[in-house]
Chain A
Amino acid sequence: MLARISRRLAGLLATLFAASFVIFAAVYAAPGDPAVFLAGGRDKLTPERLASVRAQYHLDEPLVVQYGRWLWDCVHLDLGRSFQYSDQVGDLVSARLPTTLQLVAYATVLFVVLGVGAGILAAVRRSTWVDSAIVGGTTLAASVPSFVAAIALVSLFGVQLGWFPVTGSGTGIAGTLHHLTLPALSLALGALAIISRVTRQAMADAAASDHVEAARASGVPERDIIRRHVLRNALGPIVTMCGLVMAGMLAGTVVVETAFGLSGIGSLLVGSINAHDFPVAQAVLLLMVTGYVVVTTVVDLVHPLLDPRVKEVRPA
C-alpha cells in the first residue's frame, strides 16, 4: 500500500511538472500583450513605455527562461505577485478558494444524494413509470447548460420569489448554505443525469450476477439483496463516476460564479486571463489540475477498498 501511494505521489509530481509547463506555454501564447495592461492608461501606451514595462516584468525574455524563473520561485514556495492586484498570488488564491470549495462540496452533496438516490430508485423500479420519469427528468436536466439553469433559478427563486440571495457567498454556516444553494443546484443539475444513469446501470449489472440469483433463490429478503449484494457491488463505478464529476466541477465553476456574483477561483481565473495576469492564471490553472489529479487518485486508491476484486487484477 505504502509503495503504491509513493508511486502515485511521484506520478502526481510528474503530472504537475508537465502540466505546469503546458499551462505556462499556453498562457504565454494566448493573444494579447500583458504590457498593455501593465502600462496603465491608453495615453501611456508608447513603444518606449511598453518596452520598459516588458523589461521590468521579464516579459522580454524567452519562454523557457521565464518558465525556469517561475519554477525556481515556485519550488521556494513563492508563487509571485499578481500583475493586476500587486498582491501575493498565494493570498489572492487562498482568499477565494473557500468559496469555490464550498460551492463544489455543496454541489457534490446534492448530486450524490439526489443522483445516486434517483439511480437506485430507477434500478429498483426498473421498467416502470418511475424509471421512465427519472430517466426522462434527468436527461432533461442534463441538457440544460449550467448558465441557463443559473439564470432560470435566479430569476425564479431569487428575483421573483425572493427566497434566496442573488449575489455573494454569505457568512456563517447558515448564511453560506443560504447563499450557495442556488449556485450549487445549478452546478449539480447537469451531473444528476450522469450519476443516476451510472447508478442505475451498475445496479442492473450487479443484479444480474450469479450470486444475486443464488441469494434470491435461497430466500434472502429482497431489501437485503439490494443493500448487501447489489448496491455494494455497484458502488465501484458509482464512486468513480462521482469522483470524476466532482473533480471536473473544480474547473467548471466559473459560469456559475459569474452569474451569482461569487468571488471564487473560477472568476479569478477568467479575470486573470483577460488581464494577462500570468502569475495568477498559472497558479489557478495549476491548482485546478492538482485538484483533478488528487481527486482521481483518491478515487483510485479507494476503489479497491470498496471492491476487493479490483485489487486482484492490479499488478502488485
Chain B
Amino acid sequence: MTTHSDRRRGATAVLAAATLLTVGACSGADTTSGTGGASADAAKLALSPTTPAAKGTLARADWLLEDEPDSLDLDTQGTSAGRVVLTNVCERLYQLQPDMTTKPFLASSAKTSADGRTLTLTVRSGVTFHDGSKLTADDVLWSLKRHADPDMEQSDEFGNVSSMKKTGADEITIGFKAPDALFTKALAGDAGIVWNKEQVEKAGQDFGTPGQADACSGPYALKNWKSGDSITIAAYGGYWGKKPLTREVVFRWAADSALVNALKTGAADGAYAETPNTAAALLKDKDIAQHYGPSTASLVLIPTARGGLGDERIRRALSLSLDRKGIADSGYGGLVEPWATPVGSGAWGYEKAGFQAAQKQLASLAPASPTADDLAEAKKLVKEAGTPGAPLVIGTDASQGRTVTANAVRAALQRIGLKAQIKTVPTSQFEEFYSDPQARDEIDLLVGDWYISKADPMGFYDNGLSDSSNNWVGFKDATYDKNVKKALATLDDAERASLAIDVQKRFADAAVWIPIAQVPTILLLDAKLTGPTASQAYLYYPWAAELGTKRSA
C-alpha cells in the first residue's frame, strides 16, 4: 500500500472543544499561536532521523498511543497505532533504516536478475519465531501469498508479481511482469512481514485480536493485550539479533489532552505524536524532550475540477498567494515547515541531495509567505483565466489545524479577487471526500493531508496519472504518464531520481495538488531517555529495542 488514511487522527473531533480548552488550561492559552504553548520557528526546524544512542538499560517503559490498535494483524487492519507496537514484534524481509534507506533483513541477501524480472531472496538462517519454532522458507512464501491476497491491505504491492516460488531449501524466487522499483521497498513495509504460518492458522479468524499470541520473530514478543486497557511486549530471550535495551514496554492509549497530561505528569515515558498540536502543547515542558525527524507526511490542498480550480491558472494563483508560514505558525505551533512538494523529505530514501535541490527550486511556485510580486503574478493569472462566478467551496473538518488552513485559503482567494466559502463536515464524513466523487461534488478544494509508506517519491506521483482515482482535476500530460511508468520500472536509483524530479516538476507546474507544509515525525520523550528513531521509520523499525537511559546505570 502506498498511502494510508489517517482515519484515527480526528476520531475525537466531537470533543475538539474540550480538548482545546484542556490544552489551553494546562499551559496557558496563547492566542497568537492558538496551540497553547510557545511556538517553534517553522523555518528552523532541524530534522534528525535518530536520537543520540542510549547508554543504560531500562526495565520497563510506559508508552502512549493515540488510540488502541484496531488489530495486530496488519494484513487485515493496518493502522499507525498497530504498527508502532508491532514493529518491535514482527520483522520484515527488508528493513527500513532510521535514515529511510532500506536493506535486506530477514532475507539475508537478495539478488535481482539483469532484466529486473526476478528477485531471489535467501532466507536468513538461525531465526526463530516467538514460539521457538524455526523460521523457514515455507513461512516466507506463505506470508507473501497471504499479503498478496486481494482482500488484504498490501495486495496492491503485488500487482506486478507473476510468480512466487520456493526454489531451494532457503530460497524464494519472485517473478515480475515488469521490473518494479518499489517492490523491495514494499518488503520493508507491511508487505514484507514474515508470519509464523502455524500460529496464524491456529488462531484463525481471531488472529490479531486481544488474547492471541503473535506470530513473529522480532526482538520483543507480545506478552499480553488486555482489550481496552493496555498492550505489553517483553524482550524475547531467543532473539537472533542484538538484545534490546528496554526489557518491557507497556502501551496505553489516550487522546489529545489526556495524552498531553499523561506525559506532563510522568505517567508515560514517551509517545510519537500524531498531530503537531500535541507537541506544541508540550513545548514549554523541560522534562519532555521533543525530537523532530523526517517523514513523508504533508499538508496539502486537493482541488477538484468542479468550479474555477479546474483551471490550472487559478490553481497556480492560489498556490502563489497562500500564506504557508502563517498556517504553520497559527495552525500547528510552528511544528510544520512550508513546503513546495506534496511529499515530505522522509520520502528521499536515495539521492537525497538531488531531491533536496529540486524541492528548493519549486519554492518559487509555492512561497512560504507571498511577496508583492507573487500576488501580482497571481492576480494576472486569475485575470487570464477569467474570474469564476460562484464562490469556491473549501471542504474541511473542525480540527484546529484544518480550520486555520481553510481560513487562510479563503483569505488567499479573496486577496486575488475570488469569492470563497468554507464547508465544515464531521470527521466521520470527511474521509469520504477522498473516496466518493459524489461527496466531492459539493467542494472545490479539500484541506487534506497525505503520507506514503515507502521512502520513494515515486510512491506518490502515480496519484497524478491521468487515470488515477486521486487525480481529481483531470490533469492529463502524456509525458508525465510515460515518465511515471518508466520511473516505476527503473531499478537504478540515480536514473529513477532524475525521472522522479521531472514528474515532480510537471506535477508542481500544473498544481495538481497544492502543497502547504511538510509534517515531521515528532517523538516526545522523557528527557532522561534517548535512543529511538525520530524519523518515520518508527512505523517499520524496532525503535523500542534502542530505547534506554542517557547515562549508564
Interface residues of A, Cβ cutoff 8 Å to B = 30-33, 36-37, 39-46, 50, 56, 81, 84-88, 91-92, 95-96, 99, 147-148, 150-152, 154-155, 158-159, 162, 165-169, 255, 258-261, 263-264, 268, 270-271, 273-276
Contacts and interface: CB of A to CB of B under 8 A. Distances in A.
Given A255-B15, A259-B257, A42 B428 contact: no
A133 to B, nearest CB: 27
Given A91-B210, A148-B21, A43 B1 contact: yes
B14 interface: yes
Contact of A165 (B11, B78, B209, B267): B267
Contact of A159 (B2, B10, B265): B265
B14 to A, nearest CB: 6
A158 B435 contact: no
A41 B5 contact: yes
Contacts of A33: 432, 435-436
B73 interface: yes
Contact of A167 (B67, B71, B261): B261
A273 B227 contact: no
Interface string B448-488: 00100000000000010000011000000000000000000
Given A155-B26, A271-B11, A31 B428 contact: yes
Interface in B26-56: 26
B443 to A, nearest CB: 15
A56 B15 CA distance: 32
Given A31-B426, A86-B77, A275-B11, A42 B434 contact: yes
A274 B428 contact: yes
B18 A96 contact: no
B278 interface: no
Nearest to A84: B70
B2 A258 contact: no
Contacts of B151: 56
A198 B276 CA distance: 47
B15 A32 contact: no
Contacts of B425: 31
Contacts of A40: 1, 5, 78, 153
Nearest to B266: A162
Given A87-B210, A148-B21, A95 B227 contact: yes
Contacts of A260: 258
A32 B434 CA distance: 12
Most buried by B among A36, A41, A50, A159: A41
B428 A258 contact: no
Contact of B469 (A45, A91, A150): A45
B156 interface: yes
A173 B7 CA distance: 36
B259 A86 contact: no
Contacts of A37: 7, 431
Contacts of A39: 435
16 contacts: A40-B5, A41-B3, A41-B5, A50-B435, A86-B77, A87-B71, A95-B210, A95-B227, A152-B25, A167-B262, A258-B18, A259-B258, A261-B258, A264-B228, A270-B14, A274-B12
A152 B25 CA distance: 8
Contacts of B258: 166-167, 258-261
B428 A32 contact: yes
A263 B68 CA distance: 9
A54 to B, nearest CB: 12
B254 to A, nearest CB: 3
Interface in B266-292: 267-268
B12 A258 contact: yes
A147 B15 CA distance: 9
B226 A95 contact: yes
A155 B428 contact: no
A56 B432 CA distance: 19
A85 B4 CA distance: 17
A88 B229 CA distance: 16
A31 B438 CA distance: 13
Contacts of A84: 70, 77
A147 B18 contact: yes
Given A43-B156, A259-B258, A91 B227 contact: yes
Given A42-B4, A261-B252, A263-B253, A36 B436 contact: yes
B376 to A, nearest CB: 36
Contact of B428 (A150, A165, A169, A276): A276
B428 A168 contact: no
A47 to B, nearest CB: 8
Closest A-B pairs by Cβ, 5 of them: A261-B254, A261-B258, A45-B435, A95-B227, A263-B228
Interface size bucket, B side? 35 or more
A87 B210 CA distance: 8
A85 B228 CA distance: 11
A261 B209 contact: no
Interface in B214-254: 226-229, 252-254
Given A32-B431, A37-B7, A43-B470, A270 B12 contact: yes
B208 A273 contact: no
A50 B14 CA distance: 26
Contacts of A152: 25
Contacts of B255: 258, 261
B1 A261 contact: no
B261 A166 contact: yes
B163 interface: no
Contacts of A30: 428
Contacts of B419: none
Most buried by A among B67, B228, B428: B228
A31 B442 CA distance: 15
A18 B54 CA distance: 60
Nearest to A260: B258
Nearest to A171: B229
B427 interface: yes
Contacts of B5: 40-42
A255 B7 CA distance: 20
B387 interface: no
Contacts of B428: 30-32, 273-276
Most buried by B among A50, A154, A255: A154
Most buried by B among A40, A56, A85, A270: A40
Contacts of A158: 261, 265
A151 B258 CA distance: 10
B76 interface: yes
A159 B70 contact: no
Interface in B116-156: 151, 153, 156
B429 interface: yes
B259 A44 contact: no
Contacts of B22: 151, 154-155, 259
A92 B4 contact: no
Nearest to A82: B70
Contacts of B1: 40-41, 43-44
A155 B29 CA distance: 13
B264 interface: yes
A148 B18 CA distance: 7
Contacts of A42: 3-5, 434-435, 450, 470
A227 B393 CA distance: 67
Interface in B48-93: 67-68, 70-71, 73, 76-78
